[in-house]
């Protein structure tokens, strides 16, 4: 009986805070200031909506530039990682989000990178652009599964995040998200208040071996680490 009233409340809170944040982002100078503002807004939104955020082992996150990869199970995942991670991180987001009004503007103002997942000319151009970014000292967040579905479980990982880490020579930090699938499931567009955990796992340095082998080894190590802690099934052979 409380699901619908709570959903209306939570959605209203999120939309009002998002719009207010966007209005400030349009005039606020400095990328780091804008990221700090969005991080603060995300934390406030989760708190008001009754979604308790617990971040574990944040001290394991490398202090300098690095790559974060996390499991993906809900539309809340990006909001949660924005709230949990330092404001220096940029997010790599599927190109479809660039077509969502207002959301695309907010994401661009905080330096998000849009990537086409399909193997098309646009996808190849996006990949080349992202690899150029790897030449500069940046910290990036990827969801290497690329998507999520109704059924719980860890899908196979795409190579993009690991190519980026190897090309840039950056340490890679696996991150486990728990609770977001319950808070906002794929098949139910109604949120529900619950405890959300973000666990930072020990980082992995790209191995000093040929690039293709390094990408594969790094991907396997990160996925194994996340799978061991996520408490969901291995769905590597499911379509993604």
Q: Is residue 39 part of a domain?
A: yes
**Contact (CB, 8 A) for 198 and 53:** yes
28-87 pLDDT tens trace:
999 999 999 999 999 999 999 999 999 999 999 999 999 999 999 999 999 999 999 999
Question: Residue 118: its pLDDT value, please?
Answer: 62
Query: Mapping DSSP to helix (H, G, I), strand (E, B) and coil, where does residue 23 land?
Result: helix
**Contact (CB, 8 A) for 196 and 47:** no
Question: Residue 1: its pLDDT value, please?
Answer: 65
**Contact (CB, 8 A) for 177 and 155:** no
Alpha-carbon span 38 to 106, nearest angstrom: 9
Structural domain count of the chain: 1
Alpha-carbon span 106 to 164, nearest angstrom: 24
Residues of the chain with pLDDT under 50: none
Threshold 0.85, pTM exceeds: yes
Query: Mapping DSSP to helix (H, G, I), strand (E, B) and coil, where does residue 120 land?
Result: coil
Question: Residue 230: its pLDDT value, please?
Answer: 95
Q: Is residue 240 part of a domain?
A: no
Q: Is residue 91 part of a domain?
A: yes
- 160-168 helix and 121-133 helix, angle to the nearest 10 degrees: 30
Alpha-carbon span 78 to 84, nearest angstrom: 10
Among 122, 206, 213, 111, which residue's Cα sits nearest to residue 164? 206
- Domain with 228 in it: what CATH number? 3.40.1130.10
The C-alpha angle with vertex 114 and arms to 36 and 47, in degrees rounded to 5, equals: 35
Q: Is residue 17 part of a domain?
A: yes
Question: Residue 123: its pLDDT value, please?
Answer: 63
Question: Residue 235: its pLDDT value, please?
Answer: 93
Alpha-carbon span 158 to 152, nearest angstrom: 18
Task: Please give the residue range of the domain that contains residue 51.
Answer: 3-235
Question: Residue 239: its pLDDT value, please?
Answer: 58
Query: Mapping DSSP to helix (H, G, I), strand (E, B) and coil, where does residue 155 land?
Result: strand
């Amino acid at each position: 009986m409380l699901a619908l009233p709570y959903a209306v409340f939570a959605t209203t809170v999120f939309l009002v805070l998002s719009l207010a944040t966007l209005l400030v982002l349009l005039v606020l100078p400095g990328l780091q200031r804008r990221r700090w503002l969005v991080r603060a807004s995300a934390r406030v939104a989760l708190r008001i909506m009754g979604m308790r955020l617990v971040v574990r082992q944040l001290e394991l996150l490398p202090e300098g530039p690095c790559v974060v990869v996390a499991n993906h199970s809900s539309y809340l995942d990006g909001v949660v990682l924005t709230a949990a991670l330092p404001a220096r991180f940029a997010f790599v987001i599927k190109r479809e989000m660039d077509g969502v009004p207002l959301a695309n503007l907010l994401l661009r103002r905080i330096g998000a990178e849009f990537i086409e997942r399909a193997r098309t000319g646009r996808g190849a151009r996006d990949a080349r652009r992202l690899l150029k970014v790897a030449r500069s000292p940046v910290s990036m967040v990827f969801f290497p599964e690329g998507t999520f579905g109704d059924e719980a479980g860890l899908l196979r990982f795409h190579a993009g995040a690991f190519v980026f880490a190897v090309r840039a020579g950056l340490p890679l930090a696996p991150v486990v998200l728990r609770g977001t699938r319950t808070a906002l499931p794929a098949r139910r567009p109604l949120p529900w208040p619950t405890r959300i955990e973000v666990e930072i796992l020990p980082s992995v340095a790209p191995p000093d071996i040929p690039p293709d082998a390094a990408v594969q080894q790094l991907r396997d190590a990160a996925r194994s680490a996340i799978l061991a802690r996520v408490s969901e099934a291995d769905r590597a052979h499911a379509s993604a």
